[in-house]
Amino acid sequence: MRTLIIAEHNGQHLNEQVARAVTAAQQWQQPVDVLIAAAQPDALAAQAATLQGVSSVLVASDAALQHPTAEHLADIIVPLAANYTVVLAAHSAFSKNVLPRVAALLDVNMLSDVLEIVNTNTYVRGIYAGNVLATVQNRDAIQVLTVRGSKFAAAATGAAAEVKAITTPAAPAGSRWISEAFNKSERPALTAAKVVVSGGRALGSADAFAQVIAPLADKLHAAIGASRAAVDAGYAPNDLQVGQTGVVVAPELYIAVGISGAIQHAYGMKDSKVVVAINQDPEAQIFKIADYGLVADLFEVVPQLTAAL
Amino acid sequence: MKALVAIKRVVDYNIQVRVKADGSNVDIDGVKMGINPFDENAIEEAIRLKEKGIVTEIVAVTIGGAANQDILRHALAMGADRAMLVETQETLHSLGVAKVLKALVEREQPQLILLGKQAIDDDAGQTGQMLAALLKLPQATYASQITIEGNQATVVREIDGGTQTLAVSLPAVITADLRLNEPRYVKLPNLMMARKKPLENVPLDSLSVSLTHNVQQLKVATPPERPAGIMVKDVNELLSKLRTHEGIIG
């Protein structure tokens, strides 16, 4: 039997998490196929075909896939599942929208945000905002799961898998894409950045957030993150939220500025290699998970740090 | 139109749960429980749509033991019209929950089905999408804004890197994100009044749902803690420490 990876992309580039999903898929020791569903799939399929460990690239092509809906993608994936015992993707807003729909249509359970694959049907995943690790077995005939990309190395490139077109059902009625608004940024993507500078409620305003956090992030070529409190207060847009209900990051360096370090925030960043916390409150939770803590007024020391770099 | 809102009773979000000594499960005996925060957003949205004259009746539903009546009373006190408890002691995973909810939707025939985007205990985030699949209905997950006109809902969704706007025809399943709204506080008189609102017990057996138990939690453990860090006295010391990690900063 085979393993199917659902590839996320933006129309031009494969998401870098796809290569990580390919590594996770090797655990089953069976051929791995990657599904590209796109309006113009050729370049994307070529990128996927270079990933080592991929047997073949399946291409679903349809104009409606310029902006695919979960309903359309599920209708494409479900008929393929007869040939597969594993359907997986890297965990993201894209995959967690689509794969539960696929699993239910296949009448099988799904496991989300898997951290470790113990064997072909047993996994470790976080529950209670990652405060508890649960080992879970799924005895369904088809294993459907999303994996946390940062827990798996990216597969190398240089291969040349075959590319095959598949029949693509038409987009179902009932759901229609209208628009998308992306926060334009020259910075690296939050989930891919080597350095992340995150700001919390202590910044006090959107202006202060921009004036204190952005220059430090610029110096470090870092992505900018934010705590839920900072997002809820309107200091930063929601897609920058790091935590249980936002994005999970694991950069080389994570700098938490004015962040208390609530459970749900820690969930999103505690796998970072080195954590620096700057907070005025010596009792802040964030110091318990920081490698280096600095108790100080962020408005004084962050500009100092920026200037010293 | 009728709205059905599915809610879950979970450990209060401020509480850090502990693992039982034998590693069999988390220890939630005597721990403060409450309504899952995202589900509270879902109820609030249904109430706001009712206040706008779009929704006419709100049915709050949940699945579990008799203790779950407290979150249904909470939903009724917020402004739901009636509630249903599917009573069972079984542990259901997302697919099982979706199957039970499907049976309720078929019975109630709502035009709008609202849920929270994920429960903060198992962090699975699957039930809404699975329910939509089983009902063969459109889905709009992670909603931060819902506008209903006629037979269509326009939903702004939170996605990685920004937002997406979808139009779904009703009936549809919509899952609530935190920024959809700010749930109202429940006042004591409303809690008293909620006691008079209908709360129906629906035995799980009466729904003829066939459930499998293919997912099993084998054990739980506390994650390894990060080794204790060190406190630095100023920016210079911080920089010199960081520079010992090769390549992290220039």
Band (B97; pLDDT cuts 50, 70, 90): very high
How far CA B133 is from CA of A84, B36, B118, in Å, comes to 20, 23, 16
Residue A63 has what DSSP assignment?
G
pLDDT at B43: 98
Is the pLDDT score of B246 beyond 80?
no
> How many alpha carbons fall within 13 Å on the CB side of residue A13?
4
* Pairs of residues, one from chain A and one from chain B, whose beta carbons lie less than 8 Å apart: 254
Cβ pair B242:A274 closer than 8 A: yes
Nearest to B5 by CA among B140, B113, B81: B113
Contacts 24+ apart (CB under 8 A), A75-80: A75/A169, A75/A172, A76/A35, A76/A37, A76/A166, A76/A168, A76/A169, A77/A4, A77/A6, A77/A35, A77/A102, A78/A102, A78/A105, A78/A106, A79/A169, A80/A4, A80/A35, A80/A166
pTM of the model: 0.92
pLDDT at B162: 87
A104, A112, A287 ranked by CB distance to B124: nearest: A112
pLDDT at A184: 76
Band (B104; pLDDT cuts 50, 70, 90): very high
Higher-pLDDT residue of B115 and B228 is: B115
Average pLDDT in chain A: 95
pLDDT at B16: 86
DSSP B173-220: EEEE-GGG--PPPPPHHHHHHHTTS-EEEEEGGGG-------EEEEEE
Q: Does B163 touch chain A (CB under 8 A)?
A: yes
Can you tell me the mean pLDDT for B173-198?
94
Query: Which residues 198-237 in chain B show a CB within 8 A of chain A?
Result: 212, 214-223, 226, 229-236
Band (B248; pLDDT cuts 50, 70, 90): confident
CA distance A45 to chain B (A): 22
The ipTM estimated for the assembled molecules is 0.95
Please name the residue of chain B whose CA is at the shortest distance from the CA of residue A115.
B223
d(CA B61, CA B2): 13
pLDDT at A183: 76
pLDDT at A191: 83
Helix, strand, coil tally for chain A in percent (to 5): 30, 30, 40
pLDDT at B13: 85
Is the pLDDT score of B250 beyond 80?
no
Q: Does B28 touch chain A (CB under 8 A)?
A: no
Please name the residue of chain B whose CA is at the shortest distance from the CA of residue A108.
B95
Query: pLDDT tens digits for B111-152?
Result: 999 999 999 999 999 999 999 999 999 999 999 999 999 999
d(CA B144, CA B177): 6
